[in-house]
Amino acid sequence: MATIAPVPITRRHSIIGEVFFWIALAVAFIFFMFPLYWLLMTSLKLRSEVTLLPPTLLPFVDFKPTLLNYLAVFTKVSELGTVTEAKANTSLSEFPLHLLNSVLIGGGATVLAVILGTLAAYTFSRYKIKAEADLMFFILSTRMLPPIVVLIPIFLMFTYANLRESYLGITLLYITTGLPFVVWMMKGFFDEIPREYEEAAMTDGFSRIEAIWKIVLPEALPAMLATAVFVLITAWNEFVFVQLLNPSHATTVPPFLYAIIGYGQIEWGRMAATSVVFLLPVVIFTFLVRNHLLRGVTFGAVRR
């Protein structure tokens, strides 16, 4: 019957193919999801249960889930499992403050990096700039040096400029780390938007800046959001620099997380619960912009 059908014969999914598809998907899914499942389960276990052998795999069936670890994330409950009576006089832990710092620093750096990088990318895309390819490579190359090499100069620099233990310093640093990625991604994106869009608006009597604001930016917003996901992930999770530059009150969550397991007795449950809470904002943001992700990450490398 396929011989007469003029419709494209793309639906040639045999049963074997279908079975193979679902098996392959399931295997991949298990590989990528199991550690996350295990992280979540660990966060729901008492300390005595975390390293049991054989491990308890299913909540409610194998073990009784508890939210004590989450309580310990936000309050100063130190010894897990032994706190049932002492709950009354608990105070807030340091975590909420660190989380707020992460939001301010990571969020602020992301917004600024995306805005500044987008403007620069627009310029690279629309104007004739001398040695453009070299400049673009130069921008990318600032990403290539192992961060540890510049750790000492940056430490000395921030000391002289009085930027240690400040929000400004680390935010500027994260903006700078994010910029190359933004410029590369957004330049690719602008290369795909026809110039005629703005030019039409400009013949209509808009100045260029107005055309950018009213025509180009709305068009670029999805790509900007997709880029923001990556910049946020990097800034949100950065550890080495913030540990060195802002070790105490202006620090973010990763150094705090590292400290939880730093001292001999490792509280895996509390560490897992903190990780889950810390992960949520990024996951939510990514989920909200998921539809733009695919369109956003093409770097202009794909001709439509």
Sole window of 58-66, 70-78, 93-101, 179-187 interacting with other proteins (rule: CB under 8 A): 179-187
Q: Is 217 in the site for other proteins (CB under 8 A)?
A: no
Going residue by residue from 191 to 210, which x/- string records binding to other proteins, judged by CB under 8 A? ----------xx-xxxxxxx
Q: Cβ 149 to other proteins, closest distance in Å?
A: 3
The only residue of 176, 217, 219, 221 in contact with other proteins, by rule CB under 8 A: 176
Residues 72-131 that bind other proteins (CB under 8 A): 116-117, 119-120, 122-123, 127, 129
CA proximity to 246, closest of 172, 178, 143, 177: 172
Q: How far is residue 104's CA from residue 110's CA, in Å, rounded to a whole number?
A: 10
Q: Which is nearer to other proteins, 60 or 287 (CB)?
A: 287
3-state SS, residue 207: coil
The only residue of 53, 58, 61, 131 in contact with other proteins, by rule CB under 8 A: 53
Q: Is 162 in the site for other proteins (CB under 8 A)?
A: no
Q: Cβ 298 to other proteins, closest distance in Å?
A: 5
Q: How far is residue 94's CA from residue 91's CA, in Å, rounded to a whole number?
A: 10
Q: Is 183 in the site for other proteins (CB under 8 A)?
A: yes
The total of other beta-carbon atoms located within 10 Å of residue 297's CB is: 17
Q: How far is residue 21's CA from residue 227's CA, in Å, rounded to a whole number?
A: 31
Backbone φ and ψ for 63, nearest 5 degrees, come out as -145, 160
Number of residues that bind other proteins (CB under 8 A): 99
Q: How far is residue 270's CA from residue 67's CA, in Å, rounded to a whole number?
A: 10
